[in-house]
Structure 1
Amino acid sequence: MLTPFLTTHRIFKYLASILISTALCTQAVQAEDTNRVIFADSVQAKAMAQRLQEKEGIAVADTLALLQKAELLPQVVQAVKPPKTKGVRNWDTYRNRFVEPYRIRKGVEFWNENAGILKEAEARYGVPQEVIVAIIGVETIYGQHIGNYRVLDSLATLAFAYPEGQKDRSEFFLNELEAFIALCNKTHLDALEVKGSYAGAIGLGQFMPSSWIAYAVDGDADGIVDLFNSRKDAIFSVANFLKVHGWETGKATRVLVDIQHADNLTELLAPDIVPTFTPAVLHEKGVKLTGQALPDEKLALIELVRGEAETAYVAGGQNFYVVTRYNRSSFYANAVLELSEALRLRKRMAN
């Protein structure tokens, strides 16, 4: 049996240990709070809040209160940093990420599940069904991977803490953050809950907030544009984006070529992805187009670097250029269009 003295002594030690632990935890929280970046305190944040009040009627205090809850994401900062060792771009490696059996199989399934919607979208916007499916496939594997980053945090991090030592894109992300807050204010979206990519892209088609505002469509006519849960909204929105950016039914996407001689490659590659040369001019300069139906329009010669292997080339038409408006990369556009061709072939074989 414990004596009263020992009991009191042990109780005192127990209470003291609790107080010490509480003090240590409080100090840790205070230290964490001290190191926390408060985006709302920045000059840019206050200016943005003022703009949102003037343009959207959102109170300055509400915007700043929202930004108080935004968190700096070190993993997002790391994601936009260039690799320490710069390797040679490799089209084969890039292609294998997107034009592969799983995406093709799941793409045909997605196409079959949404056949009526895709047919309607093609009729309205003139964009082939397989191209719409391919974009959603490349972006999110048909909605499987829409992103796990809180968009408010991602955009605030890139707007206010963009890493130094590379091209500064903080203004772009500041504009997207502003668009995101405006979007959430006028829709059903909760700014504290929306998840997306590390760059702030959202939904099945990975629209940036400004693109959602400009190009998203209420395809199912329920009064709400929902690029997360409404496949009709997502499909129609992708098609509308391409149409608005100049997609023309019947125009070329990509044409295979045979480089007969390389005397004029520097000149031919100078315009990059902008369609510049007629098929006749390309032929004169040693680039032979292959295929049954050759396009009667200007084309761009696209270079597909393959690491140490021999470089490949393809001619991109008007619609190839349009796909690069979705993501300004010739690799991206070529992957989307190759995947679309693979999907069309697989679906045709299945039928």
Structure 2
Amino acid sequence: MTLTRRTFMGQASATATAVLAPTLATAQTSGYAGRADVRRFAAELQSLHGVDASWSERVLAQAQFLTQVPRLMMPPSRPGVRNWRVYRSRFVEPIRIRAGSTFWEDNAATLDKAAREFGVPPAVIVGVIGVETIYGRNVGNFRVLDALATLTFDFPREHPKAQARQAYFEGELTQFLVSASRTRSDPLAPVGSYAGAMGLPQFMPTSWAKFARDYDGDGRIDLWNSPADAIGSVANYLRAFGWQAGLPTHWPLAVTRSAALQPALEADILPSFTATQLQSVGVAVPAAASALGTPLAVVELPNGTGEADFVLTTPNFYVVTRYNWSAFYALAVLELGQAVARNLGRA
């Protein structure tokens, strides 16, 4: 049986003992039919993961090269001036706050369940899904197979980190095909971002395989259409990366740049300093942060040509950056979740 994208990467039967391949229609001609690098990839997939090489070649023969994707992967030729307040305004805004309020109200019981099981507050989960896809309104319109094939076999060589990035996407394409094969799902059906991220929480295939949960108990994982599965999966992801129940994420800081403060700023988002160390270089560490006994970080948030903002962050803030390696992203997630909570009187 070939499954639709609703059940893509669903859990395989507990009795399955081998990698199974779904039946596909005859391959159509495309940029990936018959290429030597595709044949090598398929052979390695069979050798390492037991996925039939002829099936992989037929699937990849139907993948289409997406001309815009390599361009989207390239860093800007002239990096713009980073501005936290402008970035924040894109995410902590009325449309997302209203949509987040509806999402929270509709899924309050599941959010509370996830908070109890994983220790992740509802506001954080709501913030992640809101920043990622506006609660499912924008899950992407690229066919995942096409995006991952393009980034595996035609990653732009001029990218400054081309080798590492191409290897990353090759791993994601591998997991995508392994999962489709094992679950007998249709690898041509899923759509997502231009990088291959899928569903309400925008999970890459390896994250789906490691962290996605069947949280509504229907026997399958559906991150496109099941808010419960998305909620449980986000909470599971954050806990897996070290989320500590009850630990705050950050406090605003009023600091002045100085030579003494520079080593703390260079550590960026990684919590590396004790409260005493930061106090010794002039950081007014809040009493609540001092009492935690956890490592802390001072994060600078540039505002273009204006005065920068600063936040004092904990290991839980760092955990949010494991979703997206960016202090801007993490703070937008947290502030959106807080704004939704205030809108519902839950702050």
Give the TM-score band, short-chain normalised. 0.7 to 0.9
Paired-residue identity, %: 44
Shift of 1:290: 4.6
Whether the 8 Å CA contact 1:301–1:314 is kept in 2: the answer is yes
Q: Deviations 1:105-153 (Å, cap 9, x if unpaired)?
A: 1101100000011111111100000100110000000011111000000
Q: Which of 293, 305, 308 lines up with 2:305 in the alignment? A: 308
Name the counterpart of 1:183. Answer: 179
Whether the 8 Å CA contact 1:76–1:154 is kept in 2: the answer is yes
Whether the 8 Å CA contact 2:261–2:282 is kept in 1: the answer is no
Aligned-partner Cα distance in 2 for 1:291–1:346:
28
- SS of match in other structure, 1:256: strand
Cα distance 1:273–1:66, how it changes in 2: closer, same or farther (>3 A)?
A: same
Q: Which of 131, 138, 144 lines up with 2:131 in the alignment? A: 138
Aligned-partner Cα distance in 2 for 1:225–1:40:
33
Aligned-partner Cα distance in 2 for 1:274–1:248:
16
Shift of 1:263: 3.0
Aligned-partner Cα distance in 1 for 2:133–2:157:
29
Q: Which of 202, 206, 214 lines up with 2:198 in the alignment? A: 202
Q: Does 1:94 align with 2:91?
A: no
Root-mean-square deviation (Å): 1.8
Cα distance 1:40–1:293, how it changes in 2: closer, same or farther (>3 A)?
A: same
Name the counterpart of 1:269. Answer: 265
Shift of 1:292: 6.2
Q: Which of 32, 38, 43 lines up with 1:38 in the alignment? A: 32
Whether the 8 Å CA contact 2:120–2:245 is kept in 1: the answer is yes
Q: For residue 185 of structure 1, what is the amino acid of its counterpart? A: S
Higher relative contact order (CA 8 A, sep 6+): 2
Cα distance 1:63–1:320, how it changes in 2: closer, same or farther (>3 A)?
A: same
Cα distance 1:93–1:39, how it changes in 2: closer, same or farther (>3 A)?
A: farther
Counting matched residue pairs gives: 315
Shift of 1:42: 3.3
Name the counterpart of 2:22. Answer: none
Name the counterpart of 1:322. Answer: 319
TM-score norm. by structure 2 comes to: 0.86
Whether the 8 Å CA contact 1:37–1:71 is kept in 2: the answer is yes
Shift of 1:316: 1.4
- SS of match in other structure, 1:303: strand
Q: For residue 264 of structure 1, what is the amino acid of its counterpart? A: A
Shift of 1:46: 2.8
Whether the 8 Å CA contact 1:256–1:290 is kept in 2: the answer is no
Q: Does 1:158 align with 2:151?
A: yes
Larger Rg: 1
Whether the 8 Å CA contact 2:275–2:289 is kept in 1: the answer is no
Cα distance 1:143–1:291, how it changes in 2: closer, same or farther (>3 A)?
A: farther
Aligned-partner Cα distance in 2 for 1:221–1:55:
32
Q: Which of 328, 332, 338 lines up with 2:329 in the alignment? A: 332
Cα distance 1:173–1:40, how it changes in 2: closer, same or farther (>3 A)?
A: farther
Aligned-partner Cα distance in 2 for 1:156–1:265:
45
Q: Does 1:111 align with 2:108?
A: no
Whether the 8 Å CA contact 1:39–1:156 is kept in 2: the answer is no
Whether the 8 Å CA contact 1:92–1:306 is kept in 2: the answer is yes
Shift of 1:264: 1.9
Superposed structure 1 runs of 4+ greater than 6 Å apart:
none
Q: Which moved more, 1:143-152 or 1:181-190?
A: 181-190
Q: Which moved more, 1:142-151 or 1:183-192?
A: 183-192
Shift of 1:333: 0.7
- SS of match in other structure, 1:305: strand
Name the counterpart of 1:63. Answer: 56
Q: Which of 231, 235, 238 lines up with 2:234 in the alignment? A: 238
Name the counterpart of 1:83. Answer: 76
Which blocks of at least 5 consecutive residues in structure 1 are unaligned?
A: 1-32
Name the counterpart of 2:7. Answer: none
Name the counterpart of 1:14. Answer: none
Shift of 1:280: 2.1
